[in-house]
Structure 1
Amino acid sequence: MRTAGASARIDAVVIGASAGGIEALSVLLPVLLPGFRAAVLVVVHLPRERPSLLADIFTQKCAVPVIEAVDKEPVMPGTIAFAPPDYHLLVDEGPQLSLSADALVNFSRPSVDVLFESAADVYGTHLMGIILTGGNSDGAAGLEAIRRVGGMAVVQQPETAQTSLMPASALQRVPDAQALPLDGIATLLRTLNPGDRP
């Protein structure tokens, strides 16, 4: 397994969260400034039967565009895209977004694993995966897939998470992931400067 893609340009950041995720994302996503060039794709476990207000909530908080993902639309650099309720969010070649109503994965749709594994196939070493607070193990296998292709793996320190099971499960599967508190992850994102490296 290669060292986390420290020297690789990061073209996409995928983020997974569950219980406590909106609060955690409210620390991370507002640090992204205009000119941030990576696409940011986010899965948050939400009730499947209700519309999501995440795009509306984070449009008010963020300096970069925020959307709800739409099937077959291109992945937009410098834009945050949230998975809609009750659909898996995937990345296809192009890269473009894809929505799927396939079976639940880890009791979840959208599933963090589904997003992370599909993004790893497309972006390889140019991908960063971030696992935040949550109450199940969704995302652990996906983060392992990102590391397997040489991407960068980041996990919220479990002891700082509102619900520690999701980040703890990810660290168990990917022990060489960078484990950071939210402010440390925010600093990492702020200094990423994706697209500015050769």
Structure 2
Amino acid sequence: MSDELVRSLGARVRALRRARGLTLTTLAAEAGLSHPFLSKLERGLAAPSMASLGQIAQALGTSQVELLAGTEGEREHPATELVRADEGPRGPYGFGEARLLAGRGRRFQPMEYRGANRDPGDFYTHAEDEFLLCTAGSALVDLGDHGRHRLGPGDSLYLSGGVPHRWCTARPDRPYRLMIVKEQRTP
């Protein structure tokens, strides 16, 4: 990671932590990382491994790809933004891979998610609203006390902020694809 990317990533983590009302100590505990390491990361003096970045992202209710994409720097956005099929930042998101479909600073963060995981993993909970549209395959979406749903192509699900959620394939032999649109809260 370049020095500029490390500084930008640290600033992004700090901004998200503050926007969520977390202290450095609280974030460190929730991410299972040391307070001194997170302090260095936020000041741009330490680069995280992808595993550490994943732990930080989960504690902040976001993803590695969103944290890394958020480091592209602020800029004025044109009224329209075209992202071709082979463009957009890609990276880990839960047990799959996501491709971001709009730049940072937009009101919504749309992404394409591809997965084949049989294990839904831990629940994610964040303050932002989220919309899911299954575009291929079949996914089981577990919402804890809010129910469990099977989504097939064309099925959609809207989640208000604060609803715990996780998902996995509904057919172990087939991958699935979701279009996810998250509300963005600018830190």
Q: TM-score, normalised by structure 2?
A: 0.30
- The structure that has the greater radius of gyration is 2
Q: Which has the higher strand share?
A: 2
Report which structure shows greater RCO (CA 8 Å, sep ≥6). Answer: 1
